Homo-oligomer: A and B are copies of this chain.
Amino acid sequence: GRKVLIVYAHQEPKSLNGSLKRVAVEELSKQGCSVTVSDLYAMRFEPRATRNDIVGCLHNSEEFNYGVEAWEAYKRGCLSNDLTEEQKKVQEADLLIFQFPLYWFSMPAIMKGWMDRVLVQGFAHEFPNCYDSGLLKNKLALFSFTTGGSKEMYAKGGMSGDIRYLLWPIQHGIMHFCGVKVLAPHICFAPEYVSEEKRKEMLIAWAQRLKTLWKEEPINCSPEWYFK
């Protein structure tokens, strides 16, 4: 059975994001996958990258450099518990699903904090092991999110530009950098402005996609995919 980690960032279980998360847990479990959920708001996950992430002494207490300290602490096994827990989940997973509402053309801060703090050097990448040789290669990631704006606003030539433009930093800059292969994003446009029936169709479409997910090919993670 494959292992899936769903990193989920919504405050309200009754939201469409909450339902999308539940649908994924149900469908993937039905397939025999073992599914773990990191429910970031429920966990009160800490988004701030601070000295508290390092247990015990610092490598250089004269001048605090978060990247260096987290890297050194990872090597010594001195990262805070909440981080090592998340790293264990990532390590075991074949697929990472990120489920969130789009906030300001990106993920909510609580999820950005998960990226900032969990994907430390030594664990997720370590030069020259980045991009295609990143340390999390052989894993897949999928960004599943809802938007406020409509599909038309996020079209090429629309006010907000092609939705792919904003996927560059998160899919290429984060996941591809760590060697993770990226499946096509799953986007529910403007669920707040459609009927209850349409929202149900969105849930069905997601369950449907998950049925054949493991047969999907990753996207071609190059500038052409994003900006063609």
Q: Are A109 and B112 closer than 8 Å at their CB atoms?
A: yes
Q: In the complex, which range does the number of interface residues on chain A fall in?
A: 35 or more
The reply to whether B49 and A103 form a contact with Cβ atoms under 8 Å apart is yes
Nearest CB of B to A178, in Å: 10
Verify B169–A173 contact, CB threshold 8 A: no
Instruction: Name the B residues within 8 Å of A108 (CB-CB).
Output: 49, 112, 116
**Assembly CA distance A63 to B18 (angstroms):** 11
Q: Which residues of B contact A51 (CB under 8 A)?
A: 11
Q: A residues bordering B, Cβ < 8 Å?
A: 11-12, 14-15, 41, 44, 47-51, 62-67, 103-106, 108-110, 112-113, 115-117, 119, 130-131, 148, 159-161, 165-166, 168-170, 172-174, 177, 192, 223, 226-227
In the assembled complex, the Cα of A103 lies from the Cα of B118 at a distance in Å of 12
B15, B48, B131, B166: the one contacting A110 at CB < 8 Å is B48
A-B contact pairs, 21 of them (CB 8 A): A11-B51, A41-B48, A47-B47, A47-B109, A47-B113, A48-B109, A48-B110, A67-B148, A103-B116, A105-B169, A105-B170, A105-B172, A105-B174, A106-B169, A109-B113, A131-B159, A161-B172, A165-B227, A166-B169, A166-B173, A227-B227
